[in-house]
Amino acid sequence: MVSEIFSNDRRRRGAIVRGWLVALGMIAAVGVLVLLLWLQGRAGAQARGEGSDTLLVYCAAGIKPVAEEAARDYLKEFHTTVQLQYGGSGTLLADMQVARVGDLFIAADASYIRIAREKGLVSQTVALAKQRPVIVVHKGNPKAVKGLADLQRPDVSVAMANPEAASVGRVAQKLLEKTGQWKELKQHVRVFKPTVNDVANDVKIDSVDAAIVWDSTGRQYPELELVHVPVLEAGVETVTIGVLVYAKHPERALAFANYLAQADRGQKLFAKYGYETVAGGAASRPATESTH
């Protein structure tokens, strides 16, 4: 009896030691994982060539292909990493007010930069490129969409960007409100999405027949066909970059903004991805004022 209790006691103590081993093992495993994550972060930073010079750029989702390539080139040329944060222009505007960090804001149209300036978020601005809303349909235009009237046909389903979140939605709303077509079209629109690319995707995978997107976005999709409409054409908007007041080194931020506006650098990329550049002949046409 006594020996039984004794042996039990010993076994129990063995188990207690195992308990502490579990605890220690757990701490060690957490330590190892933290280390691995830290190394992962460093590897990522190295892959991006990141040094101490990093610019955080809030970038309208539609501009992503240009911004990504420009960031790569900029890193090669000036050893400054450009970190890109994507979203709809309106969404980003809200994000940066909460986060209160960042160096630059690329908006799909100048109005967001204006709002940012009014809120005291942006100091200098640089115009980058022009884009205008168009209707896009699947290649070959199977539903024969020729104009805005066709968008209201019962057999044509339509996607649009959310006017509160994305620039193209807001611009299209403004234009169509002037012609009195907005109310009807809004009823007919099957889905509103948060960014211009989400809308173009819907047409690409055939979940809708037509959508209103930027002409530049439409040109980036080989599966899509552009239908130009005079009412929408009037809505030329200027892709604009602004230096944020949160920037620790505003002069470095401005340098990247100017790089994007430089004819043989950023502008070449904008042209490559189907944008009308500001450096070209179109620069004389004032952007936002031409909206009648």
Partner 1 sequence: MWHETDSAGAAVRGKSDWPFYCGLGLLTSVYLILIVTMLLAAGSYTTWGHLGAAFSSPAIRYSIRLSLLSCTLTTLLSLCVGVPTGYLLSRFRFPGIGVIDALLDVPIVLPPLVIGLCLLILFQTSPGRWLQGWVPITYAIPSVVLAQFTVSCAFAVRTMLVTFDQISPRCEQVALTLGCSRTQAFWTVALPEARRGILTAATLVWARSLGEFGPVLIFSGATRMRTEVLPTTVFLELSTGNIEAAVAVSLLMIVAAVVVLAITRAFGVRGHREFLP
Between 209 and 228, how does the x/- string for binding to partner 1 read (CB under 8 A)?
-----------xx-------
Cβ atoms within 10 A of the Cβ of 81, count?
Answer: 18
Least distance in angstroms from the C-beta of 50 to partner 1? 9
> How far is 216 from 263, CA to CA, in rounded Å?
18
Q: Is 30 in the site for partner 1 (CB under 8 A)?
A: yes
**Which three-class secondary structure state does DSSP give residue 106?**
strand
Beta bridge partners of 212: 135
Q: Is 142 in the site for partner 1 (CB under 8 A)?
A: no
Q: Is 250 in the site for partner 1 (CB under 8 A)?
A: no
Joined together, the tokens standing for residue 290 give 């031409």
**Which three-class secondary structure state does DSSP give residue 125?**
strand
Q: Interface with partner 1 by CB under 8 A: which range of 45-53, 111-119, 139-147, 257-265?
A: 45-53
Residue type present at position 204: K
Please count the residues of this chain forming the interface with partner 1, following the rule CB under 8 A.
47
> How far is 53 from 81, CA to CA, in rounded Å?
6
Q: Is 33 in the site for partner 1 (CB under 8 A)?
A: yes
> How far is 175 from 167, CA to CA, in rounded Å?
12
Q: Is 84 in the site for partner 1 (CB under 8 A)?
A: yes
**Footprint of partner 1 on this chain (CB under 8 A)?**
8-9, 12, 15-16, 18-20, 22, 26, 29-30, 33-34, 36-38, 40-41, 43-45, 47-48, 56, 61, 64-65, 68, 83-86, 95, 98-101, 195, 197-198, 200-201, 204-205, 220-221
